[in-house]
Protein backbone atom coordinates (compact mmCIF):
# COMPACT_ATOMS: atom_id res chain seq x y z
CA UNK A 1 0.00 0.00 0.00
CA UNK A 2 1.33 3.44 -0.89
CA UNK A 3 1.12 6.41 1.39
CA UNK A 4 -1.19 9.34 0.56
CA UNK A 5 1.79 11.70 0.49
CA UNK A 6 3.53 9.62 -2.20
CA UNK A 7 0.34 9.48 -4.29
CA UNK A 8 -0.09 13.26 -4.01
CA UNK A 9 3.50 13.87 -5.09
CA UNK A 10 3.14 11.56 -8.10
CA UNK A 11 -0.20 13.13 -9.18
CA UNK A 12 0.32 15.59 -12.07
CA UNK A 13 -3.27 16.79 -12.42
CA UNK A 14 -3.55 20.57 -11.98
CA UNK A 15 0.10 21.24 -12.81
CA UNK A 16 -0.86 23.35 -15.82
CA UNK A 17 -3.07 25.58 -13.64
CA UNK A 18 -0.23 26.19 -11.20
CA UNK A 19 2.23 26.90 -14.02
CA UNK A 20 -0.24 29.32 -15.60
CA UNK A 21 -0.79 31.06 -12.26
CA UNK A 22 2.96 31.57 -11.94
CA UNK A 23 3.55 32.77 -15.51
CA UNK A 24 0.35 34.75 -16.20
CA UNK A 25 1.33 37.95 -14.32
CA UNK A 26 4.66 38.14 -16.16
CA UNK A 27 2.99 37.42 -19.50
CA UNK A 28 0.28 40.04 -18.94
CA UNK A 29 2.89 42.59 -17.86
CA UNK A 30 4.93 41.95 -21.01
CA UNK A 31 1.89 42.21 -23.27
CA UNK A 32 0.66 45.41 -21.62
CA UNK A 33 4.16 46.90 -21.65
CA UNK A 34 4.51 46.14 -25.36
CA UNK A 35 1.13 47.68 -26.10
CA UNK A 36 2.01 50.78 -24.05
CA UNK A 37 5.28 51.23 -25.95
CA UNK A 38 3.38 50.87 -29.23
CA UNK A 39 0.87 53.48 -28.02
CA UNK A 40 3.75 55.86 -27.18
CA UNK A 41 5.20 55.41 -30.66
CA UNK A 42 1.80 56.06 -32.24
CA UNK A 43 1.21 59.27 -30.25
CA UNK A 44 4.73 60.48 -31.08
CA UNK A 45 4.15 59.81 -34.79
CA UNK A 46 0.86 61.71 -34.66
CA UNK A 47 2.54 64.62 -32.86
CA UNK A 48 5.36 64.72 -35.43
CA UNK A 49 2.82 64.69 -38.27
CA UNK A 50 0.71 67.38 -36.62
CA UNK A 51 3.68 69.67 -36.06
CA UNK A 52 4.83 69.23 -39.66
CA UNK A 53 1.33 70.17 -40.83
CA UNK A 54 1.51 73.17 -38.49
CA UNK A 55 4.73 74.16 -40.24
CA UNK A 56 2.98 74.08 -43.60
CA UNK A 57 -0.08 75.89 -42.24
CA UNK A 58 2.06 78.66 -40.75
CA UNK A 59 3.01 79.65 -44.29
CA UNK A 60 -0.57 80.75 -44.90
CA UNK A 61 -0.82 84.52 -44.57
CA UNK A 62 -3.84 84.53 -42.26
CA UNK A 63 -2.55 81.80 -39.91
CA UNK A 64 -2.49 82.76 -36.25
CA UNK A 65 -0.58 81.08 -33.46
CA UNK A 66 -3.81 79.96 -31.75
CA UNK A 67 -5.09 78.41 -35.00
CA UNK A 68 -1.84 76.48 -35.41
CA UNK A 69 -1.83 75.35 -31.75
CA UNK A 70 -5.47 74.25 -31.96
CA UNK A 71 -4.72 72.23 -35.10
CA UNK A 72 -1.93 70.33 -33.34
CA UNK A 73 -4.06 69.56 -30.28
CA UNK A 74 -7.02 68.52 -32.45
CA UNK A 75 -4.81 65.95 -34.20
CA UNK A 76 -3.77 64.36 -30.89
CA UNK A 77 -7.04 64.46 -28.90
CA UNK A 78 -8.75 61.54 -30.73
CA UNK A 79 -5.97 59.21 -29.56
CA UNK A 80 -4.94 60.81 -26.24
CA UNK A 81 -8.13 62.41 -24.94
CA UNK A 82 -6.69 63.69 -21.65
CA UNK A 83 -3.51 65.15 -23.13
CA UNK A 84 -2.23 68.52 -21.98
CA UNK A 85 -0.09 70.64 -24.28
CA UNK A 86 2.69 73.18 -23.91
CA UNK A 87 3.49 75.35 -26.92
CA UNK A 88 6.68 77.42 -27.10
CA UNK A 89 8.11 79.60 -29.82
CA UNK A 90 11.53 81.19 -30.21
CA UNK A 91 12.28 83.41 -33.19
CA UNK A 92 15.55 83.97 -35.04
CA UNK A 93 16.43 86.24 -37.96
CA UNK A 94 17.79 83.37 -40.10
CA UNK A 95 18.16 79.60 -39.96
CA UNK A 96 21.88 80.07 -39.26
CA UNK A 97 21.14 81.83 -35.97
CA UNK A 98 19.43 78.76 -34.45
CA UNK A 99 22.62 77.95 -32.57
CA UNK A 100 24.90 79.61 -30.01
CA UNK A 101 26.48 82.89 -31.06
CA UNK A 102 29.90 82.32 -32.65
CA UNK A 103 32.94 83.19 -30.58
CA UNK A 104 36.70 83.11 -30.98
CA UNK A 105 38.03 80.38 -28.71
CA UNK A 106 41.51 81.84 -28.10
CA UNK A 107 42.51 79.38 -25.36
CA UNK A 108 40.98 76.31 -27.08
CA UNK A 109 38.89 75.12 -24.10
CA UNK A 110 35.62 74.94 -26.07
CA UNK A 111 33.88 77.36 -23.70
CA UNK A 112 33.29 81.05 -24.28
CA UNK A 113 35.27 82.97 -21.67
CA UNK A 114 34.49 86.59 -20.76
CA UNK A 115 37.60 87.89 -22.56
CA UNK A 116 36.88 86.16 -25.89
CA UNK A 117 35.26 87.97 -28.82
CA UNK A 118 31.81 86.92 -30.04
CA UNK A 119 29.31 87.83 -32.76
CA UNK A 120 26.33 89.58 -31.19
CA UNK A 121 23.63 88.49 -33.65
CA UNK A 122 20.63 89.68 -31.62
CA UNK A 123 22.09 93.03 -30.50
CA UNK A 124 21.61 92.53 -26.75
CA UNK A 125 25.27 93.32 -25.88
CA UNK A 126 25.99 89.89 -24.39
CA UNK A 127 26.96 86.41 -25.61
CA UNK A 128 24.02 83.99 -25.79
CA UNK A 129 24.00 80.20 -26.00
CA UNK A 130 20.55 80.68 -27.56
CA UNK A 131 20.21 84.04 -29.33
CA UNK A 132 16.49 83.59 -30.05
CA UNK A 133 13.74 85.78 -28.68
CA UNK A 134 10.53 84.44 -27.20
CA UNK A 135 7.56 84.58 -29.55
CA UNK A 136 6.64 84.10 -33.21
CA UNK A 137 8.91 86.87 -34.47
CA UNK A 138 8.29 89.21 -37.34
CA UNK A 139 8.23 89.15 -41.11
CA UNK A 140 10.53 86.58 -42.71
CA UNK A 141 11.87 85.41 -39.32
CA UNK A 142 12.49 81.74 -38.50
CA UNK A 143 10.56 80.33 -35.55
CA UNK A 144 11.52 77.25 -33.56
CA UNK A 145 8.11 75.79 -32.68
CA UNK A 146 8.10 73.22 -29.87
CA UNK A 147 5.08 71.22 -28.71
CA UNK A 148 5.10 69.03 -25.60
CA UNK A 149 2.16 66.69 -25.01
CA UNK A 150 1.66 64.96 -21.65
CA UNK A 151 -0.92 62.19 -21.58
CA UNK A 152 -1.89 59.24 -19.35
CA UNK A 153 -0.44 55.86 -20.16
CA UNK A 154 -2.60 53.23 -21.78
CA UNK A 155 -2.55 50.80 -18.82
CA UNK A 156 -2.57 51.70 -15.12
CA UNK A 157 -0.35 48.71 -14.26
CA UNK A 158 2.78 50.54 -15.39
CA UNK A 159 3.33 51.77 -11.85
CA UNK A 160 3.99 48.16 -10.81
CA UNK A 161 7.23 48.22 -12.78
CA UNK A 162 8.19 51.72 -11.71
CA UNK A 163 7.00 53.73 -14.70
CA UNK A 164 5.21 57.04 -14.34
CA UNK A 165 1.43 57.12 -14.85
CA UNK A 166 1.91 59.75 -17.59
CA UNK A 167 3.99 59.91 -20.74
CA UNK A 168 5.49 62.99 -22.39
CA UNK A 169 6.20 63.46 -26.09
CA UNK A 170 7.97 66.48 -27.58
CA UNK A 171 8.27 67.55 -31.21
CA UNK A 172 10.04 70.54 -32.78
CA UNK A 173 10.08 72.18 -36.18
CA UNK A 174 11.38 75.34 -37.77
CA UNK A 175 8.83 77.65 -39.39
CA UNK A 176 9.57 80.47 -41.81
CA UNK A 177 7.27 83.45 -41.33
CA UNK A 178 5.66 85.03 -44.38
CA UNK A 179 7.53 87.97 -45.90
CA UNK A 180 4.50 90.22 -45.41
CA UNK A 181 6.67 93.22 -44.48
CA UNK A 182 10.30 94.29 -44.47
CA UNK A 183 12.36 92.17 -42.07
CA UNK A 184 14.24 94.06 -39.38
CA UNK A 185 17.71 92.51 -39.15
CA UNK A 186 20.12 93.97 -36.62
CA UNK A 187 23.70 94.30 -37.81
CA UNK A 188 25.99 91.57 -36.47
CA UNK A 189 28.65 93.23 -34.33
CA UNK A 190 31.76 91.44 -33.06
CA UNK A 191 32.22 92.32 -29.39
CA UNK A 192 35.28 91.63 -27.26
CA UNK A 193 34.15 92.20 -23.69
pLDDT digits (tens, 9 = 90+) for 88-108: 999 998 888 888 989 989 898
**Residue at 93 is within a domain:** yes
**Residue at 7 is within a domain:** no
Rounded-to-integer distance, Cα 145 and Cα 92, Å: 11
Q: What pLDDT, on the 0 to 100 scale, is given for residue 39?
A: 92
Quote the number of domains for the chain. Answer: 1
Beta-bridge partners for 175: 143
Give the number of C-alpha atoms closer than 13 A to the C-alpha of residue 147, restricted to the C-beta side: 32
Residues near 93 by Cβ (< 8 Å), separated by ≥ 6? 121, 122, 141, 142, 183, 185, 186
Q: What pLDDT, on the 0 to 100 scale, is given for residue 2?
A: 66
Structure-model confidence comparison of residues 47 and 4, the more confident one = 47
**Residue at 143 is within a domain:** yes
The pTM of this model reads: 0.74
**Residue at 85 is within a domain:** yes
Q: Which domain holds residue 114?
A: 15-191
Question: Which strand ranges, in their side-by-side order, compose the sheet holding 84-92?
Answer: 133-134, 84-92, 142-152, 166-176
Mean model confidence pLDDT for the chain: 85
**Residue at 1 is within a domain:** no
Give 8-65 pLDDT, tens digit per residue: 677 777 777 888 889 998 898 888 888 988 999 999 999 999 998 888 887 676 678 8
**Residue at 2 is within a domain:** no
Amino acid sequence: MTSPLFRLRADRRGAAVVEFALLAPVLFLLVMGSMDIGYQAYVRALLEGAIQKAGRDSGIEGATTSTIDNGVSAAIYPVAKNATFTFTRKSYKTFGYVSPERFTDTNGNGVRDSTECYDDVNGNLQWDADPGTTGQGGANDVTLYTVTATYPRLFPMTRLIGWSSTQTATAKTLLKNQPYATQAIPAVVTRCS
